[in-house]
Amino acid sequence: METSAAFNNPIHRIILSRLAAAWVALSLLFGGVAYFIELEKIDDFVVALATAESERFKLFGIPLDPAEDSASVRLLQSRAREFASENFVVIEVYNRQRQRLVEAVNPRHERIEHELSKRGHDFPKDDRPHYQRMTIDDTTLVQTVVPLRGPDQQISGYFEGVFIVDQATMKRLREDLIHALTVTLVAVLLTTVALYPVILSLNRKVLDFSREVVKGNLEMASVLGAAIAKRDSDTNAHNFRVTLYAIALGEAVGIDATAMRALILGAFLHDVGKIGISDNILLKPAKLDPEEFSIMRTHVTLGLEILQDAEWLQAATDVVGNHHEKFDGTGYPRGLKGEAIPLNARIFAIVDVFDALASERPYKQPMSCEEALSIIRQDAGSHFDPRLVERFTRQACDLHRNYSTAGEETLKTLLREKGLHYFFAASQLKPA
């Protein structure tokens, strides 16, 4: 049961998938290295075998001077035919002047000899043994040139033979190659598997730390939002409700997790700049005069200034800096119009006004959901994005029934359940 749960855990799946990718990569790397090493071994073995067979060709005092009588040539021819009847396709013997004296062809391999004849012939330029490995019709061949030395160790001629490696030998060599590759791949696999619990343990520690960091940042945002609410003679309930409304509308229009995290932060901190507005303006019970309203408008830029040094809170700036913009371009501070206004700001503008209309305040009674929506609809296309208004009206009253009478603790719990998992989803964390 625990094993099944482990494999169903996103973190475990990620680690396993990355280890699998690492195993494939390392297998290709080390398997490739092993493959080429084994090929070199096969090549060396085949060449050594061909060279050893070539060394068996002895002159036994037979002169290699073409001017000598034909008896010497006949002896050479006989010796060459003897070798050609074994594992050689073709044998040629040359004198010291590199003139060919005799040639013998294995009758079983005339087709291969015919193919060889098409390739031309390059005699080595020095007196050292030479070899060349080749493949014709899946048959492995080694062409060798071996100097022939007399009793005085002086070169008296050259033996050239094309050695054919028998199928049994090649089969054994291929089996050795497969065995080496298998051992390499299994070793890499076992090493990778052994790393899994180590990586999992380290990852768990990192996740625990990350979870605490995320929780701390969220608590900071929540506390800052609460401070703003108290400063504005409001309650946390408004922040919680508008955030829940914003999440619901964001989900309805299909924004991704990154945008949702930005929307939640922006909803918490949308009026953070009001901290910098004096009490006689912020808490004035009467309507603000033009000068006072101009000062009140500065809370937007003040909010952006407050957030500018907090990298983690930069995601909130779309809402903080633009939630007073209007769809027709008559809003502030920049007079943005239509879709030039960030989507999160357009979402928040609707839910913020809706909650203000549908909530009880010291100076007013709450509107019903339908009354609030009627005002929202009237301002569609002027204040609000009409497409978003249409989507919000489908769900607004259901949301209002769920949230309008709920206490702060209930709203906080609902927000945690419905929204905060977006922050943990970024690193596959789970809220504690």
Tell me the pLDDT tens digit for each residue of 86-123: 677 788 888 878 888 888 888 777 777 777 777 666 66
What are the CA-CA distances from residue 146 to residues 57, 120, 130, 286, 312 (Å)?
A: 9, 19, 7, 112, 76
Domain 232-425: which topology? Hypothetical protein af1432 (1.10.3210)
Distance CA 314, CA 103 (A): 86
Task: Provide the β-strand partners of residue 144.
Answer: 131, 161
Q: Where are the alpha helices (DSSP H) in 56-140?
A: 70-84, 110-118
What is the per-residue pLDDT for 206?
Answer: 62
Which tens digits make up the pLDDT trace of 202-223? 666 665 655 665 565 666 666 6
What is the per-residue pLDDT for 142?
Answer: 78
If one compares 126 and 431, the residue with the highest pLDDT of the two is 126
Residues 257/425, Cβ–Cβ less than 8 Å: yes
| Percentage helix, strand, coil for the chain under 3-state DSSP, each rounded to 5 | 65, 10, 25
Task: Determine the 3-state secondary structure of 392 from DSSP.
Answer: helix
Task: Provide the β-strand partners of residue 135.
Answer: 140
Question: Which whole number is the average pLDDT over 230-244?
Answer: 75
Residues 301/318, Cβ–Cβ less than 8 Å: no
User: Over 80: is that where the pLDDT of 197 sits?
Assistant: no
Handedness of CA 123, 124, 130, 131 (dihedral sign): negative
User: Over 50: is that where the pLDDT of 45 sits?
Assistant: yes
What is the per-residue pLDDT for 333?
Answer: 93
What is the per-residue pLDDT for 3?
Answer: 43
User: Over 90: is that where the pLDDT of 245 sits?
Assistant: yes
If one compares 285 and 390, the residue with the highest pLDDT of the two is 390
Beta strand extents in 97-223 (DSSP E only) = 100-105, 130-136, 139-149, 155-164
Beta strand extents in 15-129 (DSSP E only) = 88-95, 100-105
CA angle 319, 290, 337 (to 5 degrees): 35
If one compares 255 and 152, the residue with the highest pLDDT of the two is 255
Q: Exposed, middle or buried by CB within 10 Å (0-12, 13-18, 19+), for 144?
A: buried
What is the per-residue pLDDT for 81?
Answer: 79
User: Over 60: is that where the pLDDT of 233 sits?
Assistant: no
If one compares 5 and 122, the residue with the highest pLDDT of the two is 122
Q: Which residue type, as a one-letter code, is found at position 195? A: L
Best mean pLDDT range from 209-218, 282-291, 311-320:
311-320
The region that residue 137 occupies, defined by phi over 0 for left and psi between -120 and 50 for alpha, beta otherwise, is left
Domain 2-173: which topology? Beta-Lactamase (3.30.450)
- For the ranges 174-188, 212-226, 345-359, the lowest mean pLDDT is seen at 212-226
What is the per-residue pLDDT for 389?
Answer: 96
What is the per-residue pLDDT for 33?
Answer: 73
What is the per-residue pLDDT for 253?
Answer: 94
Angle between helix axes 369-378 and 386-393 (nearest 10 degrees) is 160
What is the per-residue pLDDT for 327?
Answer: 96
User: Over 50: is that where the pLDDT of 432 sits?
Assistant: no
Which tens digits make up the pLDDT trace of 132-175? 777 777 777 777 787 777 667 777 778 887 877 766 766 776 77
- Structural domain boundaries in the chain: 2-173, 232-425
Structure tokens at 292: 């006072």
User: Over 60: is that where the pLDDT of 285 sits?
Assistant: yes
Task: Provide the β-strand partners of residue 141.
Answer: 134, 164
- The model's confidence at residue 422, banded by pLDDT at 50, 70 and 90, is confident
Distance CA 123, CA 114 (A): 19
DSSP characters for 248-316? HHHHHHT--HHHHHHHHHHHHHTTGGGGGS-HHHHT-SSPPPHHHHHHHHTHHHHHHHHHTT-GGGGGG
CA angle 369, 374, 379 (to 5 degrees): 130
User: Over 60: is that where the pLDDT of 44 sits?
Assistant: yes
- The model's confidence at residue 281, banded by pLDDT at 50, 70 and 90, is confident
Mean pLDDT of the chain: 78
Structure tokens at 32: 């490739």
What is the per-residue pLDDT for 255?
Answer: 92
